[in-house]
Each structure stands twice: as structure tokens, then as C-alpha cells.
Structure 1
Amino acid sequence: MLIASQDLLRYVTEQLVRYMENPKKLRKEVKAAKEPWQLRWFGQIPTSLYLIRVKKQKAPIIDEQEPEEG
């Protein structure tokens, strides 16, 4: 049991050091390159439906009123 906990501690320490050695800019680029979790878990169809819904919500509302003459 003691050896397993030492291995775990060593692994966590190595991961932390590896993370801290990378520049902040590189970490942000790697994070930005990841695909969204919705796409990874559910595929293209739910993601496309979400994008369609967002697009409809952001569409401008056009009034059909006639311009006033004056």
C-alpha cells in the first residue's frame, strides 16, 4: 500500500511540474484547441441544433411598419 501511494504522489508531482513548466500562453492554446464537451459526448446533431437555436435568438427583429410621411 505504501508503494502505491508513493507512485501516485510521484505521478501527481510529475504532472504538476510538467504543467508549471509550460508557458501560460501555450496552456491557453492547448485549452482552446480542445473540442467542446457536447460534441465529444453527443456528436454533431445536438451541437448543430444548439447553434441553430442561438442563431435564431440573435437574429434582429424587423418591424413591418410603414414609414411615416411628413
Structure 2
Amino acid sequence: MAIKTEDYIKYLTEKVVAYMDLPPEVRKEQRSLHRSVRDPWHVRWFGLVPLSVAMWWRQRKRKKEHPSP
């Protein structure tokens, strides 16, 4: 089910107008809230690969510090 071009433009226009009608303080607060919820840059750019490498590296260091008998 595709959206027709006219309907899409109407939807975007409504969103932009609703955003512009908000007071600047509210817009600023929404932006700062969105930034605080965002994932770290390395996760956004590279996905879960950096996280998995970091977990592997920490596990490796722990095994070196406390070798099992």
C-alpha cells in the first residue's frame, strides 16, 4: 500500500507546521531529550560490532587476571 505523492506532501506539511507552531523553548527541550536518549556514536556508526569487541576484550582481560585452576 503506497502513499500517494499528494498525501505524503500533505502529511509532511502538517508535521512541519505543527513543529513550527511549538514555542522555541519546547523545541529546544525536545531536541535535548532526543539527544540524551540516542545511542553512542560508535553504536550508531558501526552497529553492535564495537560492543561485542569490547565485551570480548574485557572477558579476555579477566581471564588473564584470574586464571582458572
Calculate the TM-score normalised by the size of structure 1: 0.48
Select the structure of larger CA radius of gyration. 1
TM-score by length of 2: 0.48
